[in-house]
Structure 1
Amino acid sequence: MPIQRDHHLPLAPDWECKATIDDNGIVQLDDPAIATLGKDDVRPNTWMLEVRYRATSRWKLPAVTIVGPSNSQATERFTQYLEANETGKRLINLTGIESLDKLQLTLKHLRLERDAILLGFRNPDLASGPILIIAPHPDDAELAAFGVYSQHPKNTWIITLTAGERLKRLDKQYWPGLDDSLEGASQRKGFIRAWNSATTPLLAGVPSEQLVMLGYFNDTLTMLYEKPDTVVPSYSVPTLKPDAYRNWNKLSLPTDGQARNTGQNLQSDLAALLASIKPKTIITPHPDIDPHADHIASTRHLLAAMQQSGHSPESILLYANHLKSIRGFPRGPVHAAAGVWPLDIPNSGFGDWKLASFPLRFEDQKQKALALHSMHDLGGSPGLERRLKRRLLKRLSGLPIQRWKVYSGHDFFQTHIKAHENYISVKASALFSYK
């Protein structure tokens, strides 16, 4: 018997329409005005189909393939995978289709109820002004938004808050035996990660002048927010200063030369950058979804800096690179559709949410794989137990083993190289009211 589990998010769609799914998977919309929306209204925006499904296998991954018109022909666009051995309410990502008319779903290892609801959300216009991406650590911008910033490279600024220097064990350094002390290995780890943050976005054409490393310390951002006047040393290198990781910055920061790891300094640097860049869109971690303490604190520091600078963007896109107690999401192999986070959040400190999904061209997905490979912290191989478990799950998934392309050993190479990058879109005023 499948496990009953509904996913709920506090959504406020711009379009909403009842729909039915017939025995052949044809989606019929009740409102003809929405069904006949033109390509210019459909293509740039986010579309989700709220369905109730029932998995028909304990292990095989339920799969929904979206078939939509393209150049007047029915074409398979992408496949979204759901949880095996479950039943409940889910959102099927349709974003990237060109028409809402003549949609068809091809199903494997699941059944769908007849009644459904189409939800539509207007995406912010990313081309109309500067985009500022807040990365708590090197690689967060790439995981969350490489596809987005590769489509708007000249318009993108990336601010990385920490160098990610913390190393808990000497035997975990990138090159075994290179350094003989934990302090030396940790400082070198921060150095190469800072270099990654300064160079990886160049693969997408982001100008080096728009890549900024603040150099504050890994795993300290919560304390910096709670006690902004207190100097907090690096866990791994007590004598370290943020200036050590600013070598490749092309512009000056207010705290250059006398930077200490304090929340006051971090917020001062952020406020100066906000006032200078004046971003129209900010992309930052979602503190309700992403449980990483540095990610939660990053957005809180951003809020404080926005209040200090007096600049408010038109839209804020919130991402989640981590999910609490959930592995392997978005489901399925690389290049599959990216589903919406499998969560039950009926209310939020941000009020109602709008979804914002951006499709990635196949070439952008491959370039994203290259970008992730350039990040040293995503290298290495999983342990034997993890490898065996992955192999078993792939065998049980019902998919041909060749569909499970292995670009690298880290989970992110499976979960984050997908056909979409998904966000929650909120107004700046909602961020100011967040508790």
Structure 2
Amino acid sequence: MKRKRLVVALITLLLMFTALFVYRYANYRNNIYYYDTQVDYDYEFKESNLIILDYLDNSVTIPEDIGEGFTAFLKVTVQATFKGKWSTPSVEISNGDKSVLEYFEDGAKGFRYLNISNLLTEGETRLNFSANSLRINNQDAELIYFKNEPLDDKRILVIGTHPDDAEIAAYGIYSQYSNVFVLNIKSGESGPFKYDEVYTDSILHYRKKGQLRTWNSISVPLLGGVHHDSILNFAYYSNLEKMYKKKSQEFPATFTKATDINVYRKQNFSFLKDSITGSSNWEDMVKNLQIIVSHVKPDVIVTPYPALDAHKEHQYTTIALMEALKADSISEGELYLYSNHYIINEHYPYGNSGGTMPLPPNFSNAIYFKRIYSHPLGLNRQKDKLFALEAMHDLRPDTEWRFGEQALRKAFQTAKTEMFNGDNSYFKRALRSNELFFVVPIADIYDADVVEKLITEIPDPAW
């Protein structure tokens, strides 16, 4: 009788644990995917090349005239298996000893665009596919491809709103080419009260945070080989949206209430530091952007895509840039637009670090671009990018891990997040085998309809 009761109790506990796991996992799914994962991705490629290929027996052959120097996507229909509804499905795509791994949403079904850019070689390319928790049946597949513009001889301006934005989006680009300028707009003093174990005074805390992050933004590009004169932080400390709405008004620091714009700006050591003038207002920020653009004379400007990046300050960074370009009637060159906080889903890209940065979920044909550029990151450059992110104080664990009982609580919270909410850190989302950019000619920003598309947030899917 006792044994029977024990068995019943164990079975009851097992059922309760299973029910709890299913409930928490369902919440996890709802917290990650704000859309139906069984709906087709929908992109309109107006100026791309497109051919139909036979996807047969888990392989496809790419024509010999589409090789290195192209960005290419293979549009196929996928369907997650039963296991793939509960664990992240993926496909490994290989070409000889080269391979990439692309991840999908749990339960993915419908059209998806596989990023095969890193695998293209001179001559005919045969790609083999090995799916995990996913089915890709024999079908006609669309190959969409764009000719890349070589960047070796281009002047490149990389703009990040906050310290770490340039690294997350474009460390691979700025660490590879010699003629690069890295500009940050803000000091980064705002955000969570992260170092409360060290500072009880919030003013002192945020002042130190701004100092550290400004220094990070100036020093980390040195790891990528950027010349010290080609690194600058404007060190604005107030809210960019407020500055935009009252363009001539001077705003104090949001958290420290400082009014001296040089409180963080004085940390710059580029010879251009004395060219940056004015106070904490929108009009002066636009003028300072004009100064940098005039100095760099960029062929390529890497900057956030306002309609695709959910962070308001990222949006207003590029709005300010467009004002500066128009003020000087600049129309040559291209914008390489990125999103560090994808508007539909902050967890994009899915899966583990090292996987590809694929085309993001999109269902409305609302994304404006002339072409797409996938910049490859080899394994060594991915490792370098890892340490560049590690050098950013705001991306590290906060200071509670240094204190016994708090460290234990932090470890428990981390394990809980891994089990039920998923790791959403930049070390998982940004460390990929490529960086992805939507390319728009600067000349297009003189078209009011185009600007409307660039700055109007794409609609949330109404599923």
TM-score bracket relative to the smaller structure: 0.7 to 0.9
Which residue number in structure 2 is paired with residue 388 of structure 1? 416
Give 1:239 deviation, angstroms: 2.5
**Aligned-partner SS, 1:17:** strand
- What does the per-residue CA deviation read over 1:102-156, in whole Å, with 9 as the maximum and x for residues that have no partner? 222222211124121001012222112210011100000000001111111x211
Letter in 2 for 1:287: P
The 1-side partners of 2:235 and 2:108 are apart by: 44
Cα deviation 1:168-194 (Å, max 9, x = unaligned): 54xx22x722x3421221111111101
1:122 maps to 147
Match of 1:190 among 199, 207, 210: 210
Alignment of 1:60 with 2:81, yes or no, is no
The match for 1:135 among 149, 152, 160 is: 160
1:129–1:281 contact (8 Å) kept in structure 2:
yes
- 222, 225, 228: which is aligned to 2:241? 222
Distance 1:301 1:3, change over 3 A: closer
Helix, strand or coil at the partner of 2:75:
strand
**Mapped contact 1:55–1:111 kept (Cα < 8 A):** yes
Deviation at 1:167, TM superposition (A): 4.3
TM-aligned CA distance change 1:251 to 1:228, over 3 Å: farther
Secondary structure in 2 matching 1:9? coil
What is the aligned counterpart of 1:48 among 73, 78, 93? 73
Q: Give CA-to-partner distance per residue, 1:296-346, whole Å, 9 cap, x none.
A: 000000000111233334211000011236243222222112211112231
Deviations 1:355-401 (A, max 9, x none): 1101101000000000000000001166745532423688xxxxxxx
Pairwise mapping of residues 164-179 of structure 1 onto structure 2 (< 5 A)? 164-169=188-193, 172-173=194-195, 176-177=197-198, 179=199
Alpha carbons 1:275, 1:311 under 8 Å: kept: no
Give the C-alpha shift of residue 431 in structure 1.
Answer: 2.8
User: In 2, Cα distance between the equivalents of 1:135 and 1:252?
Assistant: 17
Asked whether the 8 Å contact 1:19–1:118 carries over to 2, the reply is yes
Aligned match of 2:289: 270
Give, as a single letter, the amino acid of the residue that structure 1 aligns with 2:135.
R
Say if 1:188 and 1:346 are closer, same or farther in 2 by CA, change over 3 A.
same
Residue of structure 2 equivalent to 1:342: 361
Letter in 2 for 1:411: S
| Change beyond 3 A, Cα 1:17–1:267 | same
Partner of 1:242: 261
Higher helix share: 2
Partners of 2:310 and 2:350 lie apart in 1 by: 19
Displacement of 1:432 in angstroms is 3.2
Q: In the TM superposition, what is the alpha-carbon distance from 1:84 to its structure 2 partner?
A: 1.8
- Conserved 8 A contact 2:251-2:259: no
User: In the alignment, is the contact (CA less than 8 A) between 1:379 and 1:410 conserved in 2?
Assistant: no
The amino acid across from 1:75 in the alignment is: D
CA gap 1:10/1:231 in 2 versus in 1, 3 angstroms: farther
- SS where residue 272 of structure 2 aligns? coil
Out of 182, 191, 196, the residue aligned to residue 158 of structure 1 is 182
Letter in 1 for 2:154: G
> Which string of whole-angstrom CA distances, capped at 9 and with x for unpartnered residues, describes residues 206-259 of structure 1?
0010001101125x1112222211112211122333212222231235775x63
Give the letter aligned to residue 80 of structure 1.
E
Among candidates 40, 51, 55, match of residue 6 of structure 1: 40
Are the counterparts in 2 of residues 54 and 87 from structure 1 also a CA contact under 8 Å?
yes
Corresponding residue of 2:10: none
1:297 aligns with 2:316: yes
User: What is the CA deviation profile of residues 49-96 of structure 1, one whole-angstrom value per residue up to 9, with x for unaligned ones?
Assistant: 01111111311222211122xxxxx23411111112121111100012
**How far does residue 28 in structure 1 lie from its aligned partner after superposition?**
4.3
Question: Which residue of 2 is the match for residue 209 of structure 1?
Answer: 229
2: CA distance between counterparts of 1:147 and 1:28?
29
Once residues 162 and 383 of structure 1 are traced to their aligned partners in structure 2, the CA distance between those partners, rounded to angstroms, is 31
Contact 2:76–2:113 (Cα < 8 Å) also in 1: yes
Is the 8 Å Cα contact of residues 53 and 112 (structure 1) preserved in structure 2?
A: yes
Q: Which amino acid aligns with 1:380?
A: P
SS in 1 for 2:85: coil
AA aligned opposite 1:305: A
* Equivalent residue letter for 2:316: A
Structure 1: segments with no counterpart, 5+ residues: 30-34, 69-73, 395-408
Q: 1:193 to 1:393 in 2, by over 3 A?
A: closer
Structure exhibiting the larger radius of gyration computed from Cα positions: 2
Q: CA deviation at 1:18?
A: 0.6
Structure 1 pair 310/336, CA: closer, same or farther in 2 (3 Å)? same
1:128 aligned counterpart, secondary structure: coil
Contact 1:282 1:313 in 2 (8 A): no
Please point out which of 428, 432, 435 is paired with 1:421: 435
* Preserved contact between residue 163 and residue 245 of structure 1 (Cα < 8 Å): yes
Which residue pairs with 1:84 in the alignment?
Answer: 106
Q: Distance in 1 between matches of 2:282 and 2:396?
A: 31
SS of the counterpart of 1:189? helix
SS in 2 for 1:183: helix
2:132 corresponds in structure 1 to 108
Q: Tell me the CA shift for residue 347 of structure 1.
A: 2.4
Counterpart secondary structure, 2:119: coil
Unaligned regions of 5+ residues in structure 2, if any? 1-35, 399-409, 453-463
Q: Tell me if structure 2 keeps the 8 A contact 1:225–1:300.
A: no
**1:308 equivalent in structure 2:** 327
